[in-house]
Amino acid sequence: MDRGAKVVTLQDVADLIGVHKSTVHRALRGDPRVESGTATRIQAAAAKLGYDPEANQAARRLSQRRFGNFESPHMVALFFPVLFSRSAYFLRQFHGFMEVMSDSGFDVLTRIVGNHEWQQFPSAVARGDVDAVVSLAHESQLMELRAQLLALPGSVQRPFITLINPLPGAWSVTADFRQGGRLAAAHLLDLGHQRILTIDGLSNQHRERLVGIRDELQARGLDPAKHLVAIKPDETISPWHAQVADSLDRGLAKAPGVTAIIAPNDQVAALLFTLLAKRGRPVPERMSLIGCDDTDPLLGPGHQNILTSVALPLEDIGRATARMAMALGSKPRSEVLPVNLQVRGTTQRVGSGRT
Amino acid sequence: MDRGAKVVTLQDVADLIGVHKSTVHRALRGDPRVESGTATRIQAAAAKLGYDPEANQAARRLSQRRFGNFESPHMVALFFPVLFSRSAYFLRQFHGFMEVMSDSGFDVLTRIVGNHEWQQFPSAVARGDVDAVVSLAHESQLMELRAQLLALPGSVQRPFITLINPLPGAWSVTADFRQGGRLAAAHLLDLGHQRILTIDGLSNQHRERLVGIRDELQARGLDPAKHLVAIKPDETISPWHAQVADSLDRGLAKAPGVTAIIAPNDQVAALLFTLLAKRGRPVPERMSLIGCDDTDPLLGPGHQNILTSVALPLEDIGRATARMAMALGSKPRSEVLPVNLQVRGTTQRVGSGRT
DNA sequence: CTGTTAGCGCCTTCAG
DNA sequence: CTGAAGGCGCTAACAG
């Protein structure tokens, strides 16, 4: 484990051949000026000694700086929210991301977003030794993270990439939430549902889906005001599930005729499933239910997932982000991936009762 | 995003004060030889300009190498198995690890263990720019990963730390599996169970637990040969669950009087739960069942976990590993953390029938 | 086609 | 107490 063991250097190879180190350098770079005979001899010697200019990255970078050349460190930073490990939502993105990065030989420097003043640490991020900074963090943390990054000395600003949540002036990879709303609405309308309930305001993503739902209604000549009931949750209520229960009850009171619900995510869907059963509206017999994200299964009697859900291509989002991080253009761009609907057991034709 | 923006240098500070850069260097290191007046002026100027020697790590490392000083890069590499994201087993260790690392300002370089010849990539690991290499990979992958690391040029060997699975000549953090076996056995014996079935040979960890089970029996003056039935699974059978079913059936045939089973992990326990019900031995009424690891809940009617299980302190293992990686001694050591038994609903007093 | 030279920014020794 | 000088290993310009 001795740190100081000798590393093969340009000079070592030069000494072996009896030539100047510049010549070795040129031969190894494939410079056509070196005589082909010596070139091959040099290459052989370098290979034998195991010479690798990358090994002395410090020297290389120092030298390159002089001429304004900055080669990629082949490393990106990835920031996680604190409680990422509980949620398939983040893990699947992470998995896709790591898959591409590991295959491409990029180093990924992970870090949890907390309230650390992390820029004061001797971090590769703070030094600017990364090609890009990627963040999986929650919408609410992105702004502050960005601000911390911008507070770093001017020379180390790195491109910032967000997943799911686009940020002005930054790169992003996200999904077509609006299309997700359309797909969910189309599915319900095809099944004959005419009054749809949803809970609004929980996230930008779901707001975007609402636009899609309205798009679909209008495309079929239906008035959203009549066929869609969007309940705003009462933010003063906590805990979380009490807020959902309140929203549901207000929704049912306002529009007793609803036969379908589009939940803002799968966890809310699972809760609604239980709440609806208690209120004499079992799913799917008397109410169709669609989740969103397709991250949390709702297990039926056979232990399989029965929740119809708008699926996000989370692994693909991770993969696309990795590719974006490795080939950044000069100006921020946003990539939007398609979504699809996973039809399972919580939706059925309106009024068809017990299956 | 301009990479080439100027970084504050030692010379910049020197110019501002009108002093030589060596003096600035000395003042910033707290060298007592500099006159206290100039020292404070220099420190103020450095702070104003935002000078940080860490920012030019390339220059610093290059220079330090000359005198044989090698400071810590404050970075460790962490290797994952390919399908880590499906399993709480890895995630909980990862989470504990990241928590401590992020709090300490260490960079964590993550990588998935695949069949990449990753050392050929320009990676910080291959350059030896990490303090340690930590592996979460499966037992079966550790040897090859280690071999790849050892195949790197001699100068870049880094300490290797494994979690759960100790490896000769390497550092490790693991849990007291033997004690886990004792706890499980003690719990069952306390409940009056006199014949215990288990499946042997699936992992080193479970073999260690078997030793603990026998310890406990002997400590109570019971002969392990009479009170413990350890079935070796038939490795030729696949898939996995068919192998478990076969083991169970052979166990029940060999020792019809068993009233309790210690499964090698929670997934096997969940499977056994179902298999036992089909064989007219419902858990816990006619058979007590203990899982191991406490990673996969077995959901009961109320959606809560009903599986009694030997719990591994996975987050703590991750945290301990992080601390070990940051403060490695000169020779490998192994840290063993205590385990505990989570008593839930799948174990009950022998013969007490329906609850 | 090849050798020489200079310098990236820092750290340390040597000289004043 | 402070300045000067040299070199870590590499790269690119400049000479031959």
CB pairs under 8 A between A and B: 156
From the CA of A66, how many Å to the C1' of D13?
A: 12
DSSP A128: T
Return the residue matching tokens 């706890």.
B183
- The kind and range of the H/E element at A243 are helix A240-254
Q: Where are the beta strands (DSSP E) in A140-183?
A: 160-163, 171-175
CB-CB neighbors (< 8 A) of B107 in chain A: 109, 111, 123-125
A59 CB closer than 7 A to any strand D atom: yes
* Cβ contacts, strand C, under 7 angstroms: A 19-23, 26, 32-36, 38-39, 59, 62-63, 65-66; B 7, 9-11, 21-22, 25-26, 29, 51, 53, 55-56, 59-60, 62-64, 67, 69
Cis peptide, bond prior to residue A239, ω within 30 of zero: yes
SS3 assignment for A280-337: CCCCCCCCEEEEEECCCCCECCCCCECCEEEECCHHHHHHHHHHHHHCCCCCCCEEEE
DSSP A346: T
Which nucleotide's C1' sits nearest to the alpha carbon of B56?
A: C9
Which nucleotide's C1' sits nearest to the alpha carbon of A29?
A: D11
Instruction: Give the pLDDT confidence score for residue B118 in this predicted structure.
Output: 56
Chain B contact for A128, CB < 8 A?
A: yes
CA distances (Å), A57 to each of A290, A330, B61, B109, B127, in order?
53, 25, 10, 17, 8
Chain B contact for A54, CB < 8 A?
A: yes
Average pLDDT of chain A to the nearest whole number: 89
Q: Report yes or no on whether pTM surpasses 0.85.
A: yes
DSSP string, A181-217: HHHHHHHHHHTT---EEEE-SS-HHHHHHHHHHHHHH
Smallest Cα–C1' distance to nucleotide C11: which residue has it?
B63
Please state which of the ranges A72-86, A114-128, A137-151 shows the lowest mean pLDDT: A114-128
> Cα separation of B181 and B202, whole Å?
15
DSSP A113: -
Instruction: Give the pLDDT confidence score for residue A138 in this predicted structure.
Output: 85
Cis peptide, bond prior to residue A313, ω within 30 of zero: no
Q: Do A102 and B94 touch (CB under 8 A)?
A: no
Decide: A285 and A265 in contact? Cβ < 8 Å.
Answer: no
pLDDT above 70 (res A139): yes
Q: Do B154 and A5 touch (CB under 8 A)?
A: yes
Decide: B108 and B78 in contact? Cβ < 8 Å.
Answer: yes
Phi, psi at residue A199, to the nearest 5°?
-105, 130
Q: Do B109 and A112 touch (CB under 8 A)?
A: no
- Residue B57 to chain A, least CA–CA distance (Å): 7
Please state which of the ranges A127-136, A249-258, A341-350 shows the lowest mean pLDDT: A127-136
> Cα separation of B345 and B309, whole Å?
10
- Residue B74 to chain A, least CA–CA distance (Å): 7
- Residue A20 to chain B, least CA–CA distance (Å): 22
Q: Which nucleotides of D are covered by protein (CB under 7 A)?
A: 1-13
From the CA of B2, how many Å to the C1' of C8?
A: 18
Low-confidence ranges of chain B (pLDDT < 50): 1-4, 355
Please state which of the ranges A71-80, A85-94, B113-122 shows the lowest mean pLDDT: B113-122
Instruction: Give the pLDDT confidence score for residue B342 in this predicted structure.
Output: 98
Residue type, A73: P
Q: Do B8 and A91 touch (CB under 8 A)?
A: no
* Sheet containing B340-342, strands listed edge to edge, beginning at the edge strand earlier in sequence: B228-231, B196-199, B260-262, B288-293, B308-311, B340-342
User: Which of A58, A108, A121 lies at the smallest CB-CB distance from B109?
Assistant: A108
Instruction: Give the pLDDT confidence score for residue B353 in this predicted structure.
Output: 66
Compute the average pLDDT of residues A339-353.
93
More confident residue, A254 or A51: A254
Decide: A273 and A289 in contact? Cβ < 8 Å.
Answer: yes
Which nucleotide's C1' sits nearest to the alpha carbon of A24?
A: C2
B34 CB closer than 7 A to any strand D atom: yes
B38 CB closer than 7 A to any strand D atom: yes
> Cα separation of A88 and B87, whole Å?
11
CB-CB neighbors (< 8 A) of B65 in chain A: 58
> Cα separation of A313 and A173, whole Å?
11
Chain A contact for B58, CB < 8 A?
A: yes
Residue window 315-344, chain A: list those with CB within 8 Å of chain B. Answer: 330
Instruction: Give the pLDDT confidence score for residue B93 in this predicted structure.
Output: 96
Instruction: Give the pLDDT confidence score for residue A281 in this predicted structure.
Output: 96
> Cα separation of A287 and A251, whole Å?
13
Instruction: Give the pLDDT confidence score for residue B156 in this predicted structure.
Output: 66
More confident residue, B116 or A230: A230
Decide: A290 and A347 in contact? Cβ < 8 Å.
Answer: yes
> Cα separation of A310 and A325, whole Å?
27
**What is the widest separation between alpha-carbon atoms in chain B?**
92
For A106, the closest chain B residue by CA position comes to: B123
pLDDT above 60 (res A60): yes
Residue type, A133: V
Let me know if B223 is exposed, middle or buried by CB neighbors in 10 A (0-12, 13-18, 19+).
exposed
**What is the widest separation between alpha-carbon atoms in chain A?**
91
Phi, psi at residue B77, to the nearest 5°?
-100, 140
Residue type, B230: A
With cut-offs at 50, 70 and 90, classify the pLDDT of residue A42: confident
Chain B contact for A129, CB < 8 A?
A: yes
Decide: B178 and B215 in contact? Cβ < 8 Å.
Answer: yes
Phi, psi at residue A112, to the nearest 5°?
-90, 135
* CB-based contacts of A110, cutoff 8 Å, min separation 6: A77, A78, A79, A80, B78, B98, B108, B109, B110
Q: Do B159 and A1 touch (CB under 8 A)?
A: yes
Q: Do A80 and B98 touch (CB under 8 A)?
A: yes
Which nucleotide's C1' sits nearest to the alpha carbon of B36?
A: D1
Chain B contact for A7, CB < 8 A?
A: yes
Smallest Cα–C1' distance to nucleotide D5: which residue has it?
B22
SS3 assignment for chain B: CCCCCCCCCHHHHHHHHCCCHHHHHHHHHCCCCCCHHHHHHHHHHHHHHCCCHHHHHHHHHHHHHHCCCCCCCCEEEEEECCCHHHCHHHHHHHHHHHHHHHHHCCEEEEEECCCCCHHHCCCHHHHCCCCEEEECCCHHHHHHHHHHHHCCCHHHCCCEEEECCCCCCCEEEEECHHHHHHHHHHHHHHCCCCCEEEECCCCHHHHHHHHHHHHHHHHCCCCHHHHEEEECCCCCCCCHHHHHHHHHHHHHHHCCCCCEEECCCHHHHHHHHHHHHHCCCCCCCCCEEEEEECCCCCECCCCCECCEEEECCHHHHHHHHHHHHHCCCCCCCEEEECCEEECCCCCCCCCCCCC
B62 CB closer than 7 A to any strand D atom: yes
CB-CB neighbors (< 8 A) of A75 in chain B: 109, 124
Q: Do B54 and A127 touch (CB under 8 A)?
A: yes
Long-range (24+ apart) CB contacts under 8 A made by A249-253 are A251/A197, A251/A199, A252/A197, A252/A279, A252/A281
For a pLDDT cut of 90, what percent of chain A falls above it? 58
Chain A contact for B1, CB < 8 A?
A: yes
Smallest Cα–C1' distance to nucleotide D9: which residue has it?
A59
Q: Do B55 and A153 touch (CB under 8 A)?
A: yes
Q: A290: closest CA among A180, A192, A150, A211?
A: A180
With cut-offs at 50, 70 and 90, classify the pLDDT of residue A4: very low
Phi, psi at residue B291, to the nearest 5°?
-95, 180
From the CA of A14, how many Å to the C1' of C2?
A: 13
From the CA of B134, how many Å to the C1' of D14?
A: 48
Which nucleotide's C1' sits nearest to the alpha carbon of A53?
A: D10
Residue window 268-307, chain B: list those with CB within 8 Å of chain A. Answer: 299
User: pLDDT tens for residues B108-155?
Assistant: 999 988 766 655 555 888 888 899 999 998 888 888 888 888 887 666
B308-311 vs B334-337, strand pairing mode: unpaired
Distance of CA A330 to the CA centre of its chain: 21
